[in-house]
Amino acid sequence: MTQMIFINLPVADVDASARFYEAVGATRNDTFSDETCASMVISDTITAMLLSHARWRDFTSKQIPDAKSSAQVLLCLSMDSREACDAAVEAAVKAGGVADPIPKQDHGFMYGRSYEDPDGHIWEAMWMDEEEMKRSMAAKD
């Protein structure tokens, strides 16, 4: 079986969050979704599980942090191009997200942008030219 990752995120409004994630390219998997949870497929190996606060508490008694004022994780997805990074952020903003809570990064061989979802969870969109990175690193040696 291919290893997969399921990112569980507490959200204030499951339906609103699901609409946001659909707007940035995820697909809702109705088999694993209900009024307390939306299973949002990002790729064949990545799924975001958007859990209502009540459903989240079924998994842990730890306090749900306010992702708009604190951060516990930064989630980063690789993209096929710089333009795809920009398009991901543009789609997020159009759907109600916040652009670039982390400053834009441009290292020539690596480019990154970021956005916040409606609950404040930060997603990064990153592109890297691996061959150029290797050349750049070799030049430093």
What mean pLDDT is predicted for residues 16-40? 98
What pLDDT shows up at residue 103?
95
Q: Give tens-digit pLDDT for 95-108.
A: 999 999 999 999 98
Considering the entire predicted model, what is its pTM? 0.89
Please name the residue that has the structure tokens 């749900």: 64
pLDDT digits (tens, 9 = 90+) for 45-95: 999 999 999 999 999 999 999 999 998 899 999 999 999 999 999 999 999
Determine the pLDDT at residue 135.
80
Kindly give, in sequence order, each residue whose CB lies less than 8 Å from that of residue 74, ignoring residues fewer than 6 positions away. 102, 114, 122, 124
Task: Say yes or no to pLDDT of 136 above 80.
Answer: no
Decide if pLDDT at 22 tops 80. Answer: yes
CA atoms of 105 and 79, how far apart (whole Å): 14
Q: How much is the pLDDT for 29?
A: 98
Q: Report the pLDDT averaged over residues 4-22.
A: 97
pLDDT of residue 1: 82
Q: What pLDDT sits at residue 72?
A: 86
Please give the pLDDT value at position 140. 75
* Spatial contact of 127 and 79, defined as CB atoms under 8 Å apart: yes
Given strand 27-28, what is the order of strands in its sheet? 5-11, 46-52, 37-41, 27-28
Token output for 85: 């990074």
Is 45 within 8 Å of 5 (Cβ atoms)? yes
Tell me what the pLDDT averaged over the chain comes to.
95
Q: What gap in Å lies between CA 126 and CA 113, rounded to an integer?
A: 7
